[in-house]
Amino acid sequence: MAKSSDNSRRKFMATTLQSVGLSAFVGVLWSGYSAEAKAAKLVLRPPGALPEEDFLKACIKCGLCAEACVNRDSNVDQETGEQRPGTLKMAKGGDHKLVGTPFFTPRDVPCYMCDDIPCVPVCPSGALDEASVTDEKGELDINKARMGLAVVHKESCVAFWGLQCDACYRACPLLDEAISLEYQKNDRTGKHAFLLPVVHSDVCTGCGLCEKACVTEKAAIFVLPTEYATGKAGDHYVKGWDKKDQLRVGERKMDEIETKTKRSEKAPVDYLNKEIEY
């Protein structure tokens, strides 16, 4: 009888330890999964993707968008005639993105701006909003996509050194619209001109073709989610020369607009030509 009791006790202890071990293992997995999800702030989503928080709620991780992307008719290498890797990937463990969600890495494979945008119509959950990439005629328009915004790092862009490079400009599918070249005199040589790439945020789709084409070892132009690539002046700043912007303040004159900083509350004479700590 005592032997049977000891066996029951050992069996109970073994089961308890197994349960504790399994719980700990699951906990480690979940913490890793959570860390993966939290590390995905700079992820680039497909065309038409909802804002990130809404996208993650709506995406059912079916992979149909990635499948449509890789199987698109235009996904053929013109030189070899073979199928190229798809732009969209489905995140897996180690990608530092929420597992099972679609994303793309422009430096590897950019978005090739398909006219029919095959990845969007196949989305069954609305995570990819077809209306956001549809024009007034009811037709799909990839130029309306806002996957991100290209940013130029001037210190590593060789065009800002004075070297004649327009790789990103030439690669842009919206030539002279999303990226234009600004001509500036090169005072260092006195003979040549700088041809500086300028990204226009109201047109750039975030396709990443410029990033892919960049000639530097680490791309000097790269795409970031729009939220992280743009700033915000604040509603209290008004473009006095812009009639539409002026309408926001109604009939009030510029000098009637309330200031928002301690320094702007003072008259210029209070701080000009004085030692002020900034």
pLDDT digits (tens, 9 = 90+) for 59-69: 999 999 999 99
pLDDT at 39 over 60: no
Query: Higher confidence at residue 146 or residue 273?
Result: 146
Average pLDDT over every residue of 159-174 = 95
| Dihedral, 7, 8, 14, 19 alpha carbons, nearest 10 | 170
The pTM of the full predicted model, rounded to 2 decimals, is 0.74
pLDDT at 243 over 60: yes
What pLDDT does 145 receive? 97
User: What value does the mean pLDDT of the chain take?
Assistant: 84
List the chain domain ranges.
Answer: 36-147, 153-204+213-221, 233-265
Q: How far is CA 172 from CA 50, 75, 161, in A?
A: 24, 18, 21
Average pLDDT over every residue of 128-147 = 96
Percent of the chain whose pLDDT exceeds 90: 56
What pLDDT does 235 receive? 82
pLDDT at 74 over 60: yes
- The set of residues, in sequence order, having a beta carbon less than 8 Å from that of 11 and lying 6+ positions away, is none
